Amino acid sequence: MSMITASTTHYLWSLQDVLGQGATASVFKARNKKSGELVAVKVFNIQSYHRPQDVQMREFEMLRKLNHSNIVRLFAVEELPSKEKVLVMEYCSGGNLLSLLEDPENAFGLHETEFLTVLQCIVQGMNHLRENGVVHRDIKPGNIMRQVGDDGKSVYKLTDFGAARELEDDEKFMSIYGTEEYLHPDMYERAVLRKPHQKSYGVSVDLWSIGVTLYHSATGSLPFTPFEGPRKNKLIMYKITTEKPMGAIGGIQRVEGGPIEWSYHLPHSCQLSQGLKALVVPVLAGIMEADQERCWGFDQFFTATADILQRQPVHLFSLQQAVAHCIYIHHYNTVSMFFEEVASQTGVGIQQQRLMYLGHDLPLEGNMKVVNLPSTSQTQPLILLSPPAGANAGLPFREPETSPVPPRFDLVADYSFSKATVGVVHQYKRIVQMLHTHRELLLQGFYTYM
């Protein structure tokens, strides 16, 4: 191994092309010496060999066992001249989910279509793990890789199976793994607070981590935040996660020693529609449950998420209220059920609903199937007229909160402030673009109506 490059029999990489680093290994971008194909190589350090032999071999065995499009593929296991093991894996061009969330453009969460892609990929990858009796034990955005296709669409893949092991639904384990912000409270108590206990852990620890990851993806922030952050106030972090009321999906402490503000809804600032929020919140509440006996099982999680992912989005713009909606409904449902969903979201009674599409009335019979509705989008929705006009709901936007300016020069604080400010600017840009779209829809709707 030179000071600049390293290689195995078939692969070569620069030591400067680091994709990620952990306690026991580093991941580099490498190329096949013969074909030039890009791969990712995971090189284990000396510290990794202090682990028991069965733990060292576990990741190799897990990756060989698993084969799914939402799990990073293992191509080969090779060795450096120094005999250190190297995993040769699929290279993902889009980095990981954490790097995407740290982009200021996503400071308030991912766009709805990207969030649904994340949800679908996590569900499909986890379903493969459960079919093979595997618990991951370190699910977090940094361990979810992103592959970007030629069409620009993302595919997310679970990676880093160093903590994974075989575990059936009714089995328990005692060892501690994971990253503290995404760690189940029972494991947090022992791993972070160093409090000894005899609790055992089941597959629900993965569900908790999935819940925190999905909340982070939807909002751009962590669900549980003590004053000064989870890494600086660990006791309050544990208090928030263990004392969380049933149904709550977030808790924040805004002042030192102050009360915890519980939230039962996703924040107004996140980019998900009200229709999708209403479906996602019960899932988050069910899997972010500290009591392992009350926490959902994977069967319930898979059933609920499949129900969300199988629904068809129908975009709707209420002309009188100047508000956009997205109705998520199954394609096999009747139009009568669609009318009920519209009434639920808009407050406009079924008898008062008049729908238009592309400037023309859209006559619908209640027994028709939703699959027969025309194709819609944010810029080409169904237009809802509701004579007599209902109460105006007002602008559905709120100004994003801005961080206070640091009182003194501090490189880290100034960087965080600048990054947060750029995120706020992106949020304002989205609001302006949405207002422009709504203005165009209002003009189209009123010209047609007149």
Same domain for 152 and 283, yes or no, is: yes
CATH number at residue 35: 3.30.200.20
Residues 315 and 305 in one domain: no
128 is a domain residue: yes
Closest CA to 42 of 63, 20, 64, 23: 20
- Considering Cα of 177, then 180, then 182, then 187, what sign does the dihedral take? positive
Q: Which residues contact 176 (CB under 8 A, 6 or more apart)?
A: 187, 190, 191
Percent pLDDT > 90 in the chain is 63
Q: Which of 134-138, 170-174, 213-217, 422-426 has the highest mean pLDDT?
A: 213-217
Answer whether residue 346 is part of any domain.
yes
138 and 189 inside one domain: yes
pTM value? 0.91
Domain boundary among 29, 58, 90: 90
- Residue 305 sits in the same domain as residue 315: no
Rg (CA), the chain: 25
> How many domains is the chain partitioned into structurally?
3
Pairwise CA distance, residues 216 & 13, whole Å? 33
Q: Is 388's pLDDT higher than 80? A: no
User: What residue numbers bound the domain in which 20 lies?
Assistant: 5-90
Are 289 and 330 found together in one domain?
no
Q: How far apart are CA 236 and CA 167, in angstroms?
A: 31
* Residue 390 pLDDT: 47
291 and 150, same structural domain? yes
CATH code for the domain in which residue 111 is found: 1.10.510.10
Q: What is the pLDDT of residue 150?
A: 87
Q: What percent of the chain has pLDDT over 70?
A: 91
Q: Is residue 401 part of a domain?
A: no
Q: How far apart are the first and last CA of the chain?
A: 76
Q: Are residues 120 and 223 in the same domain?
A: yes
Residue 189: the pLDDT is 83
3-state helix, strand, coil in the chain (%, to 5): 40, 20, 40
Within-domain flag for 167: yes
Question: Quick one: 120 and 84 in the same domain?
Answer: no
Per the annotation, does 42 bind a ligand? yes
**What's the mean pLDDT in 403-423?**
82
pLDDT, tens only, 196-241: 766 667 778 899 999 999 999 999 999 999 998 888 889 999 999 9
Q: Are residues 75 and 136 in the same domain?
A: no
Catalytic residue list: 138
Residue 430 pLDDT exceeds 50: yes
Residue with tokens 């519209």: 342
Is 104 in the same domain as 170? yes
Query: Is the residue at 442 inside a domain?
Result: no
Q: Is residue 35 in some structural domain?
A: yes
Residue 448 has pLDDT above 80, yes or no: no
How far is Cα of residue 148 from the mean position of the Cα atoms in its chain? 16
In a shared domain, residues 9 and 109:
no
Q: Are residues 20 and 86 in the same domain?
A: yes
